[in-house]
């Protein structure tokens, strides 16, 4: 209970008990009141509920309603107290931005769905929704309801289904909002089950004059492919005309980091289905993806190399990857740089797997890799906290490289790092 806890100090100043959250015991920055009448800091009570707790932390009474009501009066008192103690180093808490009002969201969705309304009004409503989604995670939670997502899906594909050119702009704006929300498995399957909707995605991602519209369509494609969790669904999406080509074109579009990241995510999700790997190779995915590896952030490198690894499993994939890098020696050097850099352990694991494929039986490439310093990085993988799969790949490479190690290297005369796990 708040009254039973010893006062805490902030910058040498005692914080009043009623200004502290009963959960965190810290100064409340965004006080909200639950249905039992108790007040907590928003972040603390949201975390409490997110763990599955259904009772009020103080009263232990069941929370029949999870609505959080901002306690504006208490927040203003806390802010006044902070200002009064500013000379002692206490900083005034900012006024928190409240989540979007659910009634406003329903009104905007209704305006966006209105078939009788002017296109400009529908577009304005959809862009307001998009602005709210981008504004905060809190807004995203309020907006991302089954009803809202269902409405956005309907609007996003209505232009194609109605054959009405005027419906294109509302459809593109709806797709933009949809691309920022997470779709459920059922929603993903619902899109994939409609050939006309897949055809629409293929047309937009491949041929729409707006790069932003193409990126949004690619994001929806990735969400549909990943959300459905079905190889059949991924194969259906990847087999749609324009989808693979559109994703590859986004990856190959230099100067637009977001386009590259979204394209790679889409290719990875689709290439999890074996049927799509040949399609991706035919569209030029190997050269496009390896061409972006050097400029990607760590998390994106992981997904890019995972995609390259999948492509290497397809007939002709290894040759396409090597050609995309400009030759075996260049490919080896690039992969060793990934393993030597600050990439994640998973990225190093995928790099090792791709390296196995790239090397093949070429002794010359083995020597290139050893000269590039790959052995030291492989030894670190074997000894470090990598996954068992990564360690197996590293061991396999070390065995392949034994004949290429310098004769004076004592490691070449030792089996210490080559024992099976």
> Domain residues for 132?
99-182
Indicate whether 80 and 105 sit together in one domain.
no
What pLDDT sits at residue 6? 40
Residue at 126 is within a domain: yes
Q: Is residue 264 part of a domain?
A: no
Q: Do 175 and 123 share a structural domain? A: yes
Does the residue 334 lie in any domain? no
Q: What is the DSSP letter of 20?
A: B
Contacts of residue 114, defined as CB under 8 A and 6 or more positions apart, other chains included, come to 121, 122
- Provide block-wise average pLDDT over 10 residues at a time, the chain (421 residues): 44 84 93 95 91 92 89 94 87 83 92 86 95 90 93 86 61 96 90 94 95 97 89 93 97 91 96 96 97 86 95 96 94 88 80 90 85 84 77 83 58 44 37
In a domain, 291, yes or no: no
pLDDT in tens, 186-243: 999 999 999 999 999 999 999 999 999 999 999 999 999 988 788 999 999 999 999 9
Residue 59: name the closest of 40, 77, 75, 78 by CA: 40
* The pLDDT of residue 167: 56
Last residue within a domain, chosen from 182, 208, 226? 182
> Of the residues 152, 182, 212, which one is the last residue of a structural domain?
182
169 occurs within a structural domain: yes
pTM (2 decimals)? 0.76
Q: Are 106 and 176 in a shared domain?
A: yes
Same domain, 69 and 113: no
Same domain? 174 vs 106: yes
Beta bridge partners of residue 33, listed in sequence order: 39, 69
Same domain? For 112 and 157 the reply is yes
Query: Would you state the structure tokens that stand for residue 358, as one six-digit string?
Result: 């790239």
Q: How far apart are CA 141 and CA 143, in angstroms?
A: 6
Q: Which of 131, 148, 182 corresponds to the end of one domain?
A: 182
Based on the domain organization, do 77 and 33 belong to the same domain? yes
Query: For residue range 294-326, what is the model confidence (pLDDT) as tens digits?
Result: 888 877 899 999 999 999 999 999 999 999 999
| Residue 173 forms part of a structural domain | yes
In sequence order, the β-bridge partners of residue 157 are none
Output the pLDDT for position 159: 61
Per DSSP, the three-state class of 71 is coil
Contact (Cβ atoms closer than 8 angstroms) between residue 3 and residue 12: no
Residue 324 neighbours by CB under 8 Å, 6+ apart: 286, 287, 288, 289, 290, 291
Same domain, 170 and 104: yes
Report how many domains make up the chain.
2
CATH of the domain at 48: 3.30.40.10
Whether 1 is in a domain gets the answer no
Long-range contacts, stretch 154-161, CB < 8 angstroms, 24+ apart: 154/113, 155/112, 155/113, 155/122, 155/126, 156/220, 157/191, 157/194, 157/196, 157/197, 157/200, 159/200, 160/196, 160/197, 160/199, 160/200, 160/203, 161/196
In a domain, 348, yes or no: no
- pLDDT at position 68, please? 87
């Amino acid at each position: 209970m708040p009254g039973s806890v010893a006062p805490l100090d902030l910058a040498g100043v005692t914080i009043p008990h009623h200004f502290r959250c009963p959960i965190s015991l810290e100064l409340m920055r965004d006080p909200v009141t639950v249905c039992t009448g108790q007040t907590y800091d928003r972040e603390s009570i949201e975390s409490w509920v997110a763990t599955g707790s259904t009772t009020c932390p103080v009263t232990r009474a069941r929370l029949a309603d999870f609505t959080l009501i901002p306690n504006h009066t208490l927040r203003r008192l806390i802010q006044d107290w902070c200002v009064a103690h500013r000379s002692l180093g206490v900083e005034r808490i900012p006024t928190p931005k409240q989540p979007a009002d659910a009634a406003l969201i329903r009104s905007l969705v209704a305006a966006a769905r209105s078939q009788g309304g002017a296109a400009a009004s529908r577009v304005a409503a959809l862009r307001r929704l998009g602005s709210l989604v981008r504004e905060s995670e809190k807004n995203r939670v309020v907006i991302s309801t089954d009803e809202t997502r269902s409405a956005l899906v309907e609007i996003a594909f209505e232009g194609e289904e109605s054959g009405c050119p005027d419906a294109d702009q509302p459809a593109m704006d709806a797709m933009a909002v949809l691309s920022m929300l997470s779709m459920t498995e059922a929603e993903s399957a619902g899109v994939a089950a409609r050939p006309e909707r897949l055809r629409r995605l293929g047309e937009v991602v491949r041929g729409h004059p707006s790069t932003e519209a193409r990126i949004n369509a690619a994001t929806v494609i990735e969400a549909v492919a990943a959300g459905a969790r079905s190889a059949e669904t991924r194969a259906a999406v990847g087999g749609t005309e324009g989808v693979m080509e559109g994703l590859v074109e986004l990856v190959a579009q230099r100067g637009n980091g977001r386009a590259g990241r979204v394209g790679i995510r889409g290719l990875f999700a689709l290439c999890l289905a074996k049927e799509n790997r040949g399609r991706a190779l035919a569209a030029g995915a190997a050269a496009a993806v390896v061409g972006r590896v050097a400029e990607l952030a760590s998390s994106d490198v992981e997904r890019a190399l995972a995609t390259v690894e999948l492509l290497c499993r397809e007939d002709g994939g290894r040759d396409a990857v090597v050609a995309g890098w400009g030759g075996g020696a260049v490919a080896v050097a690039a992969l060793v740089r990934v393993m030597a850099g600050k990439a994640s352990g998973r990225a190093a694991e995928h790099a090792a797997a791709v390296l196995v494929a790239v090397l093949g039986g070429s002794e010359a490439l083995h020597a290139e890799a050893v000269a590039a310093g790959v052995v030291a990085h492989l030894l670190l993988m074997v000894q470090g906290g990598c996954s068992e799969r990564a360690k197996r790949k590293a061991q396999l490479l070390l065995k392949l490289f034994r004949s290429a190690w310098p004769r004076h290297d004592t490691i070449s005369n030792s089996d210490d790092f080559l024992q099976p796990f």
